Amino acid sequence: MSWQPIFLDRLPAKIYEKQYRMIISWRYKFRNSIMDRIDPRSRWIFSFAFLISATMFWNANYLFVFFVLAVIWYAFGKTTWKETRHGWLLVSIMLFSMIVINTIITGGGAGGVVPPGGHVVWDKGFSLPLLKWHIDFGLTVERIWFAICQLMRLGGVSMIFVLIPYTMDSRAYGATFHGLGMPDKFAYTMELAFRFIPTLARDLSVTLDAQKARGYELEKVKGGIFRKIARIAPLLVPVTMNAIVTSEDVANAMDLRCFGQAKRTWIYPLNYHWWDYLVNIFSAFMLIGSVVAVYVFDQGGYWVPNWFLNLFIHH
Amino acid sequence: MAEKKKSIWKFGTREVVFAAIGAALYAVLAYATNVLQLPGAGNVSIRPAVVIPMFFGIAFGPIVGFISGFVGNILSDLLSGWGFWFWWDLGNGLMGLIPGLISGLIVDYKAIKSLLLGELFVILGAAGGMGVASLSEMWVSGADLNTVIFANFIPAFVSNIINGLILLPILMVAYAAIVQRSGRS
């Protein structure tokens, strides 16, 4: 079941939809997937171990292993394309920019890894017919291979992290970060922020409606960028100031209940299962193994396999 | 009125609530204004909400500013379904922490000196925060420094300082009225 604020459970569905459809809905829903059964703490441990491990390598053999691992992890989430396409749109823009523009065309993205020179396969650049621009660039085999490595590396990391909003229950964040060693107050801040989101979304919606009734238009503001930004003020100021005034009441109420005087308990307690320990142990091995492979056996470096060179270079 | 020196690193009940409110505000406002795109700059949106961690840092201290930016960016990405990008979350956190370093110096939020100091630290905060986030792309993406500067740092930095410089004084002046009315700062 998708999450909604507890106090809204009592509202008839029609009123709830009418008031909240405009702004906020969490992307998480229970899918009865393998990922739903893995403890969120183990998931964060795995995700960060993967990030640190994968970014140590430019060696395609290792990156391929990480990529396959990411595909398997992603499949555990049982998400659909329709659900996650928004996240992938952002990742696609990033990958296009990093791989096509920065690596293949300009070579800037490969500058830190691929040695200068190389085997040229295309040196004529290309023209943009409508604009009549000619873009000069020389494409080398080494840069094409680097683009493939980058696709596996960034694609793998993206799969791990794009999955999080769709498969991690937002109610468990406070307890999760507390379980990972974050102090009570910081973990509770995170928990409280989640609680405030629907309230502030409602305030924003009410303020927007009130300002619109006075002729305010958020989307169709005339003028340049500076004017557009300044015109946000009638929305930003009342919502922010109202939130600050409300905060004082919340803080007073928490003080009256002796907040921070004793160790907290959490509404959604987390318990490790045997498979969570396996994920943690695997993550530790992945991280230690990567450090040893890169810093002891020098396996992390970039190189182009001969079979790939032979595809382009004819002897 | 006697000026009382504030401890900028205090993190009590009020700071917990302000940090949570700041993070939630940042997330909701960033999500609500995603429709505004910079003309001619792909994938760079006008995000007026970046002023929230900057303002919360200045008003309530660097820890509140950091959490507002860091957690707010995480929540905004969770709402938008954009995933989890730790290094950009950290950058947003620093964008709130750095302006927060002057929170102890500001007593009158509508004084010209306070406004100018705030504007200066908005620039430093955006430079520091977006600098760290952009440089981390060298580690993650293997890009060289030129690419990181022109493709990541400059669009994010310029967009954030424009938003911050325009909106911060408006929020500070509005907050001065709240402080005057409530008698607390």
Specify the range with the lowest mean pLDDT, choosing from A59-68, A109-118, A239-248, B146-155. Answer: A109-118
Cβ-nearest to A245 among B20, B143, B178? B178
Give B-chain residues touching A112 at CB under 8 angstroms. 138, 142-145
How far is it, in rounded angstroms, from Cα A262 to Cα A247? 22
CB B109 within 8 A of CB B56: no
Rounded Cα distance, A140 and A110, in Å: 11
> Do the Cβ atoms of B142 and A23 come within 8 Å?
no
Split at pLDDT 50, 70, 90, the class of A261 is confident
**Structural contact between residues B103 and B179, judged by C-beta atoms closer than 8 angstroms:** no
Helices (H), chain B: 13-32, 51-60, 62-80, 86-100, 112-141, 145-147, 154-182
In this model, does residue A266 exceed pLDDT 50? yes
pLDDT for position B4 = 55
Least Cα distance to A245 among A203, A212, A274, A275 occurs for A203
Instruction: Test B138 with A109 for CB contact under 8 angstroms.
Output: no
A170 and B CB contact within 8 Å: yes
> Do B81 and A166 make contact, defined as CB atoms within 8 angstroms?
yes
Digit-coded pLDDT (tens) for B159-171: 899 999 999 999 9
Closest chain A residue by Cα to residue B160: A229
Structural element, H or E, at residue A121:
strand A120-122
Structure tokens at A42: 């183990």
**Residue among B91, B52, B47 at smallest CA distance from B68:** B52
CA A136 to chain centre: 35
Interface test with B, best of A106, A189, A294 (most B CBs within 10 A): A189
Interchain contact, A193 vs B141, CB within 8 Å? no
B85 → closest Cβ in A109, A161, A188:
A161
Subunit contact B29:A55, Cβ cutoff 8 A: no
Q: Do B16 and A260 touch (CB under 8 A)?
A: yes
Mean pLDDT of B9-18: 92
Question: Which tokens is A247 given?
Answer: 């905060």
pLDDT of residue A18: 42
Instruction: Give the CA distances from residue B109 to residues A119, A134, A197, B57, B179, in Å, rounded to whole numbers and listed in that order.
Output: 62, 54, 27, 13, 9
**Collapsing DSSP states into helix, strand and coil, what is residue A204?**
helix
Environment class of residue A314 by beta-carbon count within 10 Å: exposed (0-12), middle (13-18) or buried (19+)? exposed
Query: Per residue in A157-178, pLDDT tens?
Result: 889 988 888 888 877 888 888 8
B142 vs A109: CB contact, 8 Å cut-off?
yes
Q: Distance (Å) from the C-alpha of residue B145 to the closest C-alpha of chain A?
A: 8
> How many CB pairs lie under 8 A apart between chains A and B?
216
CA-to-CA distance for A157 and B87, rounded, in angstroms? 13
- Contact list in A for residue B86 (CB cut-off 8 A) is 48, 51
**A9 band by pLDDT with thresholds 50, 70 and 90:** very low
Report the pLDDT value the prediction gives residue B87, as an integer from 0 to 100. 83
Range with lowest mean pLDDT among A108-112, A140-144, A163-167, B19-23: A108-112
Q: Is A211 touching B (CB cutoff 8 A)?
A: no
Min distance A156 CA to chain B CA atoms (Å): 11
At B126 the pLDDT is 95
Smallest Cβ–Cβ distance between B46 and the set A200, A229, A245 belongs to A229
A146 to chain B: closest CA residue:
B142
Task: Kindly identify which residue of chain A lies nearest to residue B176, measuring between CA atoms.
Answer: A241
pLDDT at B38 over 70: no
Distance CA B60, CA B52 (A): 11
Higher pLDDT: B9 or A2? It is B9
- Chain B neighbors of A186, CB-CB under 8 A: 67
Task: Look at residue A26 in the predicted model and tell me its pLDDT.
Answer: 67
Q: How far is A69 from chain B (nearest CA, A)?
A: 18
Angle at A139 between CA A137 and CA A140, to 5 degrees: 145
pLDDT, position A175: 86
Do the Cβ atoms of B19 and A193 come within 8 Å?
yes
The residues, ordered by sequence, that sit 6+ positions from B74 with a Cβ below 8 Å of its Cβ are B84, B89
- pTM for the model stands at 0.78
Higher pLDDT, A236 or B2: A236
Amino acid making up residue B14? R
